[in-house]
Structure 1
Amino acid sequence: MKKIILLFLLFSTAIFAQQKVATSIDTTKNKIGAEFKLTLKTEVEAKTKVVFPKLKNIGALEVIASYPIDTVKKNDRIELIKKYGLTQFDSGKYTIPSIKILIDKKEYLSDSIQVEVANVPVDTLKQKMYDIKDIVKTEDTIGDWWKYLLALVLLSGIGALVYWYVKKQQKKKIEEEIYKTPIEKATSLLNTLEKKELWQKGEIKEYYSELTNIARNYIEEAIDIPAMESTTSELILGLKAASVKKKMTLTQETISNLERVLKQADLVKFAKSKPLDFEITEDRNKIQKAILTLDNAIPVAIVAEEDSILNEAQRQNQLKLQLQKKRKDRIITTAGIVFGVIVGLFAFFVVTKGFDYVKDTILGHPTKELLEGEWVKSEYGNPGIIIETPKVLQRIDLSKSLPKEGMALIKEMQSFAYGSFLDNFYLMVSTYSFKEGTTIDLSKSLDGSIKMMELQGGQNMIVKQEDFETKEGLKGIKGYGSFSKIDAITQTSTKIYYEILLFSQNGGLQQIMLLHEEGDLYANEVSERVLNSVELKQVSN
């Protein structure tokens, strides 16, 4: 029995030993930012499920790498190796705590390890120091020529499109003239057809189509036969019937010549027949002669005077409508060309100047107008501040906004401003003369200006401070940063950037304050120009 218990204990101990997690590290001392490699090993049966944790930090060390698990087969067992890359950016001694590993849902702990992170020694005697090199401008291998080429291509394309459209419309559209009689119309159209010289250019099909359409249109208008919709055979039969009904005197030769030309036209249009030049001329003459013969054969109807006046009025009305239509077409064509040019110019400036510039130029932008307007150089306050501004600054009274304790120390105060704190651009120049014995602390003065902005609605103030020196060598401080401004009506928040210059001379304080919407490129240029122009009148002691 003791042997069995002893074997059981040995077996249990063996199992425990096999499932123990071995812990090691590649080094216990490293430099700041260098990697420690922590290795965890465990040997288990092949079917055992082992889970290594996913960690972002192990103790005070950051996990910068979690390496894939390596598997090593050992007979019927496997060894799992998991590595973590750790680092720390502060020097000191740190303990890597135990890590929980799940083996068949049971927790096992790794060993804790002590490591040290050391500073990186810097020897400025061995490492040579070099001056900062000037900025070297690289050559622009491409340049801006492609922008102009693109604009030229766009304008050319638009121009070609407009030209093609107008030409197509003119070609498709046959302006119908208003004539007093069908014979006058037919004669005029025949003369126009000859001037086109279609068949001389090889456009025989188009020539015969127009020639027969003139004849058919005349017959339809003068004799009241649906000639445009009839076949050649139907047209000839209808013409014969109409001649009997209207008592028209027509010879067989006239009808035969007309029929021959119509059939010739059918062959040209549908069978691609090509008549000889003299045949084309003869067909044209036959059509003209047939139309004249038909017109002479139509009995003359006596038109009442009232009908004549009515027909003339209708003709004048049609002529008026036609002129209006032509005028409308000209306006549309002109508007299209103008619109195309505008679009082309818009595209050109968008490519060369940018969309925001074009938008601000067309729609207007308040700070852009300030930047491009006529600037004024003036002197304000005492001690005087000479400054260049986009507008003349107006005198304002700040006495009511300052605390009584502060006003008690001030002997003289002058303030001038453009805009207001509620606007998205504000410029203020102030000078103060204090009573004797008053000590001026520029940093505290800056704090006072910041508090004033907070009292007027500024929130989430970010304040930075640095020294500032004018071109004349007068030293002061510059406060700058940003804050949020809430619109009282819309309750929307706007990010405002500010800059404050403060100088102290012989018991006096000079201040320049600029506020504008953050991200306004035009306002940035305005601010830069204003601050670069600052000149201070030096006060003698």
Structure 2
Amino acid sequence: MKKIFYVYILLCFGFLGTAQKITTSIDSTQIKIGSQFNLTIKAKVNAKDKVVFPNAKNFGALEVLESYPIDTIKNNTEFELIKKYGLTQFDSGRYVIPKLLVKINKADFKTDSLSIIVNDVKVDTTKQQMYDIRDIIATEEKPSNEWWKLLVLLALIVASGFGSYFIIKRLQKGKVQKEEFFASPIEKAIAYLQNLDKKQLPQKGEVKEYYSEMTDIARTYIEESVHIPAMESTSSELLDSLKKAISEKKMFVNREELERFKSVLENSDLVKFAKSQPLLFEIEKDKNTIDKFLLIIDKALPRTEEESVALFAEEVRKKELKKQKFFRTMAAVGLSLGLFLISVIIFMYTIGFDYLKENYIGYTTEELLEKEWITSEYGEPAIIISTPKVLKRFNDEKIQNNLPENVKSNNRFINGSIVDDFSTILISTAFKDTTRLDLDVALETNLKELERLGAKNIVVKTADFENAKGLSGKKAYGSFTAFNEVEKEDQKMSYEIMVLSQAGGAQEFFLIYREEDDYAKKIIEKIQNSIELRKAKK
């Protein structure tokens, strides 16, 4: 009976020591439609336990946006595994996260079910400005994805250039001797010495191989040009034979040059047979000595008339090869340029040069002044204005969400940046009542806006404004500097800001251009005289 009691106690403690625990929680009980909330599942286990967390695209009616990696916290002999999921729902209502299956070893555990409320997003129509429905305007279709064709065309042009180069080279090879040869022993020796340098044997630690190959090239040259058995001779025998040949052939070679050549041969013998390790600058010095000595020998050699003719023929051959290389290079370049120009002409004809300038190249202020202008109606109260380019609506959520109580709408239209050759900003504000904007306060606010856009060192002058159509208001004008990211320097700019006001609405214009640009000043005058206003809607 006592034994049974002990066994029972052991089983109880053993069960408690290996007990597993699952907990579930969410970081929010209410969310807006489409917002993410996190579901966390924690499992307390031992080191040897194998845990499998749920893996699905949806938990009930809730979508799993992201399944995060498992975090592990060690607590003495226990481990706490933490698994997080990012969930959401795109319909409002009350949803339940069902009980989820977690496997620990071969046992199944269920998580707690949790509820979440998904709320609608309320829209405040008093602050969220509404726009009139406009008629459909037919626009000229412009290709927006044609550039890949141009890139493919350029690649084909480059390929055709390379292809033509090698085709011409192949055709020219038929006119010259196919097998490469050296016209003279000195040409062969120089070529082999240049190839030896390219191998960089001393830098790789292969000094013995370097000296062996270098002296073999020199010996081969001497044997072929001076006609002595240089390859089978020792260094001393080679020097003796060479001195004798120089004397017999009446060649002019300085004794100092012979001594330098002798020194190189001795250094080579030390490297090959005594394992000497000269320094890199000493190796370079020996190489220069060999180069110079071979050229001295070649210059001192007496030449027959046949040899002189052969050398002259070789020089002619080299010049012909250079001429052929220049011809095929120019032919390839000319073909590529010709194809490129044809492609540009075709591209401009099919797409239009104006499209390229409008979207990529840009216009000068002179071209902006002379091109066809666009007259359009912007904002509320509506502004009718003529500009060189269409102004694009710009919505700043920070401004729209923080409109004053008496403001019905605030519309902004922009073209360009404050460092462009010419840029325009147009602001139209509608009030809920018959408020009339204070022009001085508006100008001060606009100057702060200009500063927010990056203007520095602003010089301000003010004056009354009136255009050719009788509209009057107030303007600020002057200059400022702004950092140009492309040119990486401060750019000197000029500006004019006009403010017009009417009962229930106001209009503000920013016209910015490069300082001392006479064409830009004419553009400003033309824009100002085109301005018309519609009365604010009640």
Specify which structure has the bigger relative contact order, considering alpha-carbon pairs within 8 angstroms and separated by 6 or more residues.
2
Same fold, TM-score > 0.5, yes or no: no
* TM-score when normalising by structure 2: 0.32
Q: With structure 1 as the length reference, what TM-score do the two structures score?
A: 0.31
